[in-house]
Chains A and B, each alone.
Chain A
Amino acid sequence: MILVENMTKIYRNGENEVAALKDVNLHIRAGEFVAIMGPSGSGKSTLMNILGCLDKPTSGEYYLDGKPISQLDSRQLAYIRNKKIGFVFQNFNLLPRMSSLRNVEIPMIYAGIPPRERRIKAMEALKSVGLEDRWHHKPNELSGGQRQRVAIARALINSPKIILADEPTGNLDSKSGAEIMGIFTELHRNGATIVLVTHEDEIARYAQRIVFFRDGRKVDEKSSELL
Chain B
Amino acid sequence: MNFFESVIIAWESVIANKLRSLLTMLGIIIGVSSVITVSALGQSGRAAINKEMDAFGANRFSIYYRYDSDDPITDADGFTLQDVVTIKEISPAVENMAPISWDSANIRSKGKEIGVEIVATTADYTEIANLKLDAGRFFSNEDDDAKRYVAVISESLAKELFSSSAAIGKKIMVSNRPFKVIGVLAREESIFSMGMDSKLMYIPISTYFSFSGSNWINNIEGKAVSQTEVDKAIEHSLNILHRRHRNENKYNAWNSQKEIDSVNQVTGIVTLVISAIAGISLLVGGIGIMNIMLVSVTERTREIGIRKALGARETDIMIQFLIEALVLSFSGGILGMFLGFGLSQIIAMFIKIPAVISWQMIALAFAFSAVVGVCFGLYPARKAAYQDPIEALRYE
Contacts and interface: CB of A to CB of B under 8 A. Distances in A.
A185 interface: no
Nearest to A157: B310
B311 A78 contact: yes
Nearest to A87: B309
Contacts of B12: 97
B311 A154 contact: no
B312 interface: yes
B303 interface: yes
B390 A110 contact: no
Given A49-B390, A54-B393, A110-B1, A74 B313 contact: yes
Interface string A76-100: 0011011100010000011101000
B60 interface: no
B389 A54 contact: yes
Interface in A54-88: 54-55, 74-75, 78-79, 81-83, 87
A93 B309 contact: yes
Interface residues of B, number: 22
A109 B313 contact: no
A168 B336 CA distance: 50
A15 B12 CA distance: 44
Nearest to A158: B311
A26 interface: no
Contact of A110 (B13, B16, B316, B389): B316
A83 B390 contact: no
B310 A81 contact: yes
Summarize B's interface: helix, strand, loop or mixed.
helix
B331 to A, nearest CB: 19
A99 to B, nearest CB: 12
B309 A54 contact: yes
Contacts of A94: 306
Interface in B87-145: none
A164 to B, nearest CB: 10
Interface in A91-138: 93-95, 97, 106-107, 109-112, 114-115
A220 B311 CA distance: 33
A57 B396 CA distance: 23
Contacts of B313: 74-75, 78, 110
Given A93-B393, A109-B1, A115-B2, A83 B309 contact: no
B310 A154 contact: yes
A81 B390 CA distance: 13
A227 to B, nearest CB: 31
Interface in B202-227: none
A43 interface: no
A78 B390 CA distance: 13
Interface string B299-313: 000110111111111
B393 A97 contact: no
A54 B311 contact: no
A81 B309 contact: yes
Interface string B4-16: 0100000011001
A82 B390 contact: no
B229 interface: no
A158 B311 CA distance: 10
A110 B314 contact: no
A213 B342 CA distance: 70
Nearest to A50: B390
Nearest to B394: A49
A151 to B, nearest CB: 10
B390 A106 contact: no
Contacts of A154: 310
A93 B309 CA distance: 10
Contacts of A111: 311
A97 to B, nearest CB: 7
For the complex of A and B, list the 6 residue pairs with the smallest distance between their C-beta atoms, beginning with the closest.
A82-B311, A110-B311, A55-B390, A78-B313, A54-B390, A107-B310
Interface of A: 49, 52, 54-55, 74-75, 78-79, 81-83, 87, 93-95, 97, 106-107, 109-112, 114-115, 154, 158
Interface of B: 1-2, 5, 12-13, 16, 302-303, 305-314, 316, 389-390, 393
